[in-house]
Amino acid sequence: MKLLRFGAPGAEKPGLLDADGVIRDLSGVVPDLAGDVLSPEGLARLAAVNTEELPMVSPTMRLGPPVGGTRNFVAIGLNYADHAAESGAAVPKEPIVFLKSLNSLAGPDDDVAIPPDSRKTDWEVELAIIIGTLARRVSPEAALEHVAGYAICNDVSEREWQMERGGTWDKGKSADGYGPVGPWLVTADEVPDPQDLGMWLEVDGRRMQDGSTRTMIFDVRTIVSYVSQFITLHPGDIITTGTPPGVAMGMKPPAYLRPGQVMRLGIDGLGVQTQKTVAAE
């Protein structure tokens, strides 16, 4: 299934994308795509719904993040060896874990507002893991049992704040709207191998990133297990798993984002995001 949430920010309703590409309203079936709805049993109940009986939603309706009730927005740094190289960093021996503020969560096509004192805002196409059931200190062998599905994340990053303002990554990753997720949560049964997905990102029509999850250093099951040793993961939590090379920081000279540009990014089977950059008010 392709599950989604639509409507104004903070007032999104649950929905799904049917086999014909039509958005259907699930708000008469479940209150939100959160909590137990994301469990295997909850997803099985949604899969049994007759989509033709659900109300249709306008294709122009805004899409929000595809899950609600998120408690933790976790990110993994330098998880592609070639991206580590372009960043001038060593390949990590363990996953690098940091948090993005929940304020950074945004819909897949929302504008990205660049703060007035930002000089080095960058892009990162990433595979996001959506947690479906509580995961606390789970083994790698059991890790995928806790995954509801996958989505696209643009881990927008302010590199000066990340690298040059005291050594902690979180503040360079957490500006309002710096974490678009979606357009859909694609359930795990429709992603047979999350380690074999092509991924790309364009800025103003120019291809910047063109990679594959095959080149991850730490795979999905390792990441879920590892993070769960330190952070209890709840249904609706998001783990974004790192980016392939091609970010602005690695260019010579770097070409960071400025207001008035358009980012377009996608991952095989998970849809496409499109964001315009604007100046924050």
Per-residue pLDDT at 85:
76
Find the domain containing 105 and state its range. Answer: 68-279
142-177 pLDDT, tens digit per residue, is: 999 999 999 999 999 999 999 888 877 899 999 999
CATH of the domain at 110: 3.90.850.10
Total number of domains constituting the chain: 1
Distance between CA atoms of residues 261 and 208, nearest Å: 14
Asked if residue 173 belongs to a domain, the reply is yes
Q: Pick from 265, 260, 91: which is nearest to 181 by CA? A: 265
- Say if residue 235's pLDDT is above 90: yes
Asked if residue 55 belongs to a domain, the reply is no
Residue with tokens 């969560």: 105
Cβ-based neighbours of 16, under 8 Å, separated by 6 or more: 1, 2, 3, 4, 23, 24, 26, 46, 51, 54
Instruction: Look at residue 162 and give its three-state secondary structure.
Output: helix
Asked if residue 5 belongs to a domain, the reply is no
Average pLDDT of the chain to the nearest whole number: 96
Asked if residue 18 belongs to a domain, the reply is no
- Say if residue 64's pLDDT is above 90: yes
Per-residue pLDDT at 261:
98
24-52 pLDDT, tens digit per residue, is: 999 999 999 999 999 999 999 999 999 99
- Say if residue 88's pLDDT is above 80: no
Can you spell out the DSSP letters for 60-108? TSPEE-S-S----EEEEES-BHHHHHHTT-PPPSS-EEEE--GGGEE-T
Cβ–Cβ < 8 Å for 150, 127: yes
Percent residues over pLDDT 70 in the chain: 100
Output the CA torsion sign for 70, 71, 75, 76. Answer: negative
Asked if residue 126 belongs to a domain, the reply is yes
278: left (phi over 0), alpha (psi -120 to 50) or beta: beta
Per-residue pLDDT at 90:
83
Per-residue pLDDT at 89:
76
Per-residue pLDDT at 77:
93
- Say if residue 83's pLDDT is above 90: no
Q: What is the mean pLDDT of residues 231-256?
A: 96
Other beta carbons less than 10 A from residue 30's beta carbon = 18
198-230 pLDDT, tens digit per residue, is: 999 999 999 999 999 999 999 999 999 999 999
Asked if residue 3 belongs to a domain, the reply is no
Asked if residue 121 belongs to a domain, the reply is yes
Per-residue pLDDT at 82:
77
Percent residues over pLDDT 90 in the chain: 93
Asked if residue 148 belongs to a domain, the reply is yes
- Say if residue 86's pLDDT is above 80: no
